[in-house]
Chain A
Amino acid sequence: MAGDYMFELKGVSYSYLNRFPALESVDLKIEPGERTALLGPNGSGKSTLLNIMAGLYFPQKGSVSFMGGDLSENRLADDAFRKFFRSRVGIVFQNSDAQLFNSNVEEEIFFGLRQLDISKEDARERAGKYVDIMGIGHLKDRHPQNLSIGEKKRVAICSVLAMEPDILLLDEPTSGLDPRSARCLLDAISGYAEKPKTIIISTQDMHIIPEVACRVVVLGEGKNVLRDGLAEQVLADRAFLEEHNLMHIHAHRHKGICHVHPHEHHDEPHHGHGT
């Protein structure tokens, strides 16, 4: 039944400027409470897919439904539906510079809450809670442009978490972050996921997948879905990952001997001991 899914995409294709294909005939169903990772090499359409699910891009072919109803530009023009949708679906972009456009961090966090007509008291309470979780209280008067990459990312995530969306879309949240910032973000995402929330995260960083997702959807260089399955099964299929440019080969030194073998970085107790 269509209503059982948060999102249902059927034969979705999208091209930029009607010339540059980004997605080709993608079918995807996301159930409520599911934690899904979109895995794929550069240019496989992960960000485009997230933008489509966020109701920001609209496919040229195929259909997208949200909680059983059509997700289209016309439907989002309806005030009541738009408010309903925007309060339930939050997206964190890969480029925090695009996401942070207010004059200080506090304004940034309040922005979404105000647009959704959350009362001042509730907004304060929510903002305070997520500011504490993300550890950015000391930044609230700073201009977002003066923050480090890790701080910008934390502010961007906080500004979306404060809206308490039921569905959280994250585009490469750990890319470019140092280990401590990445850990802070993963802890926040994992903590948020403990509530009955739906999380869809795009990444190329396979070692974070077991922590944040149970299901993996692999997008290929052909901009289509290559595989859809349980995280542990997909990540264990090394031949498949290597074939589709998701594992790399590099040199390791084991007991003083340098040798080369396929390698990925997920869930490994000792670096460099794959295969």
Chain B
Amino acid sequence: MGMMGGGNLFIERSLEAALAFFKDAIFSDEISGKKGVLQRLRPKTRVVSLLMLLLTACIVGDLYKLVLLYAGSVILAYFSGVRVGYFLKRVWFFIPIFAVIIALPAVFISGKYVAALFVMRVATCVSFAVLVTMTTRHSELIMTLRSFGVPGVFLEVLDMSYRYLFLFVKVFEEMHIALKARLVSNSGGTHARGWIGGRISYLFKRSMRMSEAVYLAMIARGYTGEAKKHGR
């Protein structure tokens, strides 16, 4: 790491942080495997309960009630073995991008209260959604959604996206390590940015090849457009 130039160092740290976030936030089974309040519930009950809370957050029109609901999500997270600091970061990381910017005009048109209500509503909904994914194993979540009658095609796409996101995060990490192993001198930020651009293009090509191979594997086992399931 010390051998790299400033631009490289920044990019490398960003890459490492992004990879760590992906692995920890999306693919880790660590929290879903704990024996917390939410994990003790059956997956179906857990998902339904959190979805009900999420729906409540959508229809509550009072800021103070929303704050209470949000506080409830943080308490639930705490008693489910989720580190509170990590949970807050995960929820609030995207809020400025997706909610605050959208809510900014409302500050001038409808007033601060409406803007705050909007931001709080988004944060509360995101909190409950994050709690569902953190405390439920991916395979359990898919099975639960299936039992709710969510269309098979939607679940297949969701499932495969999850699986191949994981695979490509690993591939990207390996490429990054391979680069580190071969770097012997400083290279400028321009070179580093070029490298990242090149890897993104390579990853895209590789994902196209992989999608073709997966499709052939499905066809070979009798897939004809929609995966058939046995009733449970």
Task: Enumerate A89-118 residues with CB–CB distance to B below 8 Å.
Answer: 89-91, 93, 95, 97-99, 101-104, 107, 110-112, 114-117
Number of interface residues of B (CB under 8 A): 26
Task: Enumerate B201-217 residues with CB–CB distance to A below 8 Å.
Answer: 210, 213-214, 216-217
A65 within 8 A of B: no
- Chain A interface extent, by class: 35 or more
Chain A residues whose C-beta falls within 8 Å of the C-beta of B216 in the assembled complex: 51, 56, 93, 98
A115 & B210 in contact (Cβ 8 Å cutoff): no
> Closest B-chain residue to A110, C-beta based?
B230
Rounded to whole Å, the gap between the CB of B89 and the closest CB of chain A is 25
Interface string of B190-232 (1 = CB under 8 A from A): 0000000000000000000010011011111111100111110
Rounded to whole Å, the gap between the CB of A150 and the closest CB of chain B is 17
A87 & B217 in contact (Cβ 8 Å cutoff): no
B228 & A145 in contact (Cβ 8 Å cutoff): no
| 28 pairs of residues in contact across A and B, judged by CB atoms under 8 Å | A55-B220, A56-B219, A56-B220, A87-B222, A89-B220, A97-B167, A98-B210, A98-B213, A99-B217, A101-B163, A101-B214, A103-B142, A103-B143, A103-B159, A103-B163, A111-B227, A112-B221, A114-B229, A115-B221, A115-B222, A115-B228, A120-B230, A143-B138, A143-B139, A159-B221, A160-B221, A163-B221, A163-B222
- Inter-chain CA distance A163–B231, complex, in Å, is 19
A141 within 8 A of B: yes
A interface, CB within 8 angstroms of B? 51, 54-56, 79, 82-83, 86-87, 89-91, 93, 95, 97-99, 101-104, 107, 110-112, 114-117, 120, 123, 141, 143-145, 159-160, 163
B213 & A112 in contact (Cβ 8 Å cutoff): no
- Inter-chain CA distance A145–B143, complex, in Å, is 17
B213 & A82 in contact (Cβ 8 Å cutoff): no
B41 within 8 A of A: no
Rounded to whole Å, the gap between the CB of A85 and the closest CB of chain B is 9
Q: Secondary structure of the B side of the interface?
A: helix
- Inter-chain CA distance A52–B77, complex, in Å, is 53
Residue picked from B143, B217, B230, most chain A C-beta under 10 Å:
B217
Q: Secondary structure of the A side of the interface?
A: helix
- Inter-chain CA distance A117–B138, complex, in Å, is 26
> Closest B-chain residue to A103, C-beta based?
B139
Rounded to whole Å, the gap between the CB of A198 and the closest CB of chain B is 16
Chain A residues whose C-beta falls within 8 Å of the C-beta of B219 in the assembled complex: 56
B interface, CB within 8 angstroms of A? 138-139, 142-143, 159-160, 163, 166-167, 210, 213-214, 216-224, 227-231
Residue picked from B139, B160, B223, B231, most chain A C-beta under 10 Å:
B139
Rounded to whole Å, the gap between the CB of A48 and the closest CB of chain B is 12
- Inter-chain CA distance A209–B153, complex, in Å, is 42
> Closest B-chain residue to A101, C-beta based?
B214
Rounded to whole Å, the gap between the CB of B214 and the closest CB of chain A is 5
- Inter-chain CA distance A175–B142, complex, in Å, is 32
> Closest A-chain residue to B146, C-beta based?
A103
Chain A residues whose C-beta falls within 8 Å of the C-beta of B213 in the assembled complex: 93, 95, 98
A-B pairs with the 10 shortest C-beta distances? A115-B222, A98-B213, A112-B221, A103-B139, A86-B222, A104-B139, A114-B228, A120-B230, A99-B217, A56-B216
- Inter-chain CA distance A116–B221, complex, in Å, is 8
- Inter-chain CA distance A110–B142, complex, in Å, is 16
> Closest A-chain residue to B156, C-beta based?
A101
Chain B residues whose C-beta falls within 8 Å of the C-beta of A98 in the assembled complex: 210, 213-214, 216-217
Chain A residues whose C-beta falls within 8 Å of the C-beta of B142 in the assembled complex: 103
A86 & B139 in contact (Cβ 8 Å cutoff): no
Chain A residues whose C-beta falls within 8 Å of the C-beta of B159 in the assembled complex: 101-103
Chain A residues whose C-beta falls within 8 Å of the C-beta of B143 in the assembled complex: 103
Chain B residues whose C-beta falls within 8 Å of the C-beta of A99 in the assembled complex: 217
Rounded to whole Å, the gap between the CB of A199 and the closest CB of chain B is 16
Residue picked from B142, B210, B216, B231, most chain A C-beta under 10 Å:
B216
B227 & A114 in contact (Cβ 8 Å cutoff): yes
